[in-house]
Amino acid sequence: MNFLAIDTSSLACSVALRAGDVVIERHEEQAKEHTRLLTPMIRDVLTESGMNLPQLDAIVLGNGPGSFIGMRIAASVAQGLAHGAGLSIVPVSSLAAVAAEVLEDAAIAEVVVAQDAHMTEVYLGAFRRGPDGVPEPLFPERLHAQTVIEELEPGTADRRVAAGFGWQRYPGLAAAKEGLIGQLSAVLHPRARFLIPLGAAAWQAGEAIQPGDLVPAYLRSKVAEKPSVGTT
């Protein structure tokens, strides 16, 4: 399977291309540079792989939740590329991509991912390793204040890790983890290479969509709308 994966839902601009068993990646963490960086990164990975867009099976999109502006950048680029090449889009969770990187450590059983949602809130998701190795959610992703996460049970805290920038951004959230989470991970932002196994599983499950049907997972209802193809 051949996939192009992109994510600009956080401070990181991340692109990866899977060509058979080979994964090529570009990843930079620069605030407010996504528009400048994204297209050259995509061009670079395509050139290095020797592939053209129509040779791909689909475009895997880190669909948030995350930065409203960042998500629109990736969504509009993915829509434009998919529309022009006749490809489908496989939207997957950007929070799950963070969890996938952390869960590479076999000693970790669960990951609680928090990304900055501003307004003193975070986008929150919790995941465990599924039977196929792909993260599966413990509860639906949501907006969350700096309070105790009630779904977490203290008994497995030693194998539960917190990841994502939200834990650093809001000390009150970190204080609420005592007894529920064993440690903080250094993984802060989603990397596109970890979108690929999520996207492959979703693609095989028939979850690919047409470009015009994409709805980014903003979570804040006042901004939940379909971006038009070519929107920047």
CATH at residue 51: 3.30.420.40
Q: What are phi and psi of 35, to 5 degrees?
A: -60, -40
Residue 221, pLDDT score = 66
Shared-domain flag, residues 18 and 89: yes
CA dist 87 → 4, 163, 195 (Å): 11, 32, 17
- The predicted model scores a pTM of 0.93
Shared-domain flag, residues 117 and 162: yes
- Does 62 map to a domain? yes
For residues 223-231, average pLDDT: 42
Shared-domain flag, residues 99 and 88: no
- Does 232 map to a domain? no
Query: What are the residues whose beta carbons fall under 8 Å from the beta carbon of 118, sequence distance 6 or more?
Result: none
Shared-domain flag, residues 34 and 118: no
DSSP annotation of 104: T
pLDDT tens-digit profile of 124-182?
999 999 988 999 999 999 999 988 899 998 878 889 999 999 999 998 888 888 889 98
Which has the higher per-residue pLDDT, 15 or 225?
Answer: 15
State the CB neighbour count (10 A cutoff) for residue 53.
Answer: 15
> What is the number of structural domains in the chain?
2
Shared-domain flag, residues 7 and 89: yes
- Does 67 map to a domain? yes
CA dist 196 → 107, 153, 172, 201 (Å): 22, 30, 33, 9
The whole-chain average pLDDT of the chain stands at 92
Shared-domain flag, residues 164 and 210: no
pLDDT at 222 > cutoff 60:
no
Residue 230, pLDDT score = 40
Shared-domain flag, residues 139 and 161: yes
